[in-house]
Amino acid sequence: MNLNNVEFIRSVADGALKGDGGFLRDGRPQFVFAGRSNVGKSSVINRLLNRKSMARISSSPGKTAHINYFLIDGSVYFVDLPGYGYAKVSAEEKRRWAKLMGHYFSEPDLITAGVLIVDIRHPPTQDDQVMADWFKKAGCPFLAVSNKADKVPAGELDSCLEIISQTLGLKSDNPPLPFSARKGTGREELIEWIEGFI
Ligand code: GTP
Ligand code: MG
């Protein structure tokens, strides 16, 4: 998989739309990226793709509440879900987020695997747990990519990862991955994990 070959395909705001306005379903594997607002989701995606700002399109005005599709090397999709947990979001926007997620996750056999990005420094939030539950309910394997590892002293990494594992109810064969979008830590492991599904 050549991660330098990236094409932005589509932005979807409404899961009820079919055809060109709706979710993509063309048989290619879909890897879903989810995370709390400001956790570093764009930075993680950009680090994977060796880009400075590919994922910025996802946070440009008007696109934040959308599901954004990137085609990688003509063969797999990276699906950037709208960030959640931003305190200033209105109740109306929260409802729209939940509705869009409900539509997306209820599509049968659409998602190949999920990348749930959390902040390694803090226990996962209630919203992170809700997101993890979306993956679990869909029967979708997911990896807890624990970002901002550069902010934690090496001696504290294991206990941070243990808290994440416990809070999200992860199995011992699916441990969280320490990651730093800033330093590149964990990039190879994440690519390997993704490639294990294709
Ligand atoms: P929104 O799209 O605005 O919700 O945010 P996001 O989740 O896409 O996060 P973004 O990538 O914009 O990063 C948020 C902030 O965290 C920025 O200031 C980044 O520089 C910083 N950041 C992201 N990843 C890391 C990391 O691995 N280490 C450190 N130290 N900072 C990071
Ligand atoms: Mg972003």
Q: What is the DSSP string of 112-173?
A: -EEEEEEETTSPPPHHHHHHHHHHHHTT--EEEEEE-GGGS-GGGHHHHHHHHHHHHT--TT
Which residue has tokens 């064969």? 173
* Percentage of the chain modeled with pLDDT above 90: 69
Has residue 140 been placed in a domain? yes
Cβ of 150 closer than 6 Å to ligand 1, yes or no, is yes
Q: Give the DSSP H or E segment for 30.
A: strand 30-35
Has residue 1 been placed in a domain? no
- Site to probe by mutation for ligand 1, drawn from 38, 84, 150, 185 as the one with most ligand atoms within 8 Å of Cβ, is 38
Q: What is the mean pLDDT of the chain?
A: 91
- In the prediction, which pLDDT does 96 show? 87
Number of folded domains that form the chain? 1
* Residue 42 CA to ligand 1 centre (angstroms): 7
Residue spans of alpha helices (H) in 107-139:
126-137
For the ranges 13-22, 87-96, 178-187, the lowest mean pLDDT is seen at 13-22
Q: Quick one: which atom of ligand 1 is closest to the CA of 151?
A: 30
- In the prediction, which pLDDT does 63 show? 52
- In the prediction, which pLDDT does 153 show? 98
Has residue 39 been placed in a domain? yes
How sure is the predictor about 86, in pLDDT bands with cuts at 50, 70 and 90? confident
Residue 156, pLDDT > 90, answer yes
* Residue 77 CA to ligand 2 centre (angstroms): 17
Closest residue CA from atom 19 of ligand 1: 40
Cβ neighbors of 19 (< 8 A, separation 6 or more) are none
Has residue 47 been placed in a domain? yes
CATH number at residue 10: 3.40.50.300
How sure is the predictor about 89, in pLDDT bands with cuts at 50, 70 and 90? confident
Residue 193, pLDDT > 90, answer yes
Closest residue CA from atom 13 of ligand 1: 40
Q: State the average pLDDT over residues 99-123.
A: 94
How sure is the predictor about 127, in pLDDT bands with cuts at 50, 70 and 90? very high
> Which has the higher per-residue pLDDT, 42 or 193?
193
| Amino acid sitting at position 185 | T
Domain extent for 183: 6-195
Residue 62, pLDDT > 80, answer no
Residue 21, pLDDT > 80, answer no
Q: State the average pLDDT over residues 152-181.
A: 97
Which residue has tokens 């085609």? 71
Q: State the average pLDDT over residues 53-61.
A: 61
Cβ of 82 closer than 6 Å to ligand 1, yes or no, is no
* Residue 26 CA to ligand 1 centre (angstroms): 31
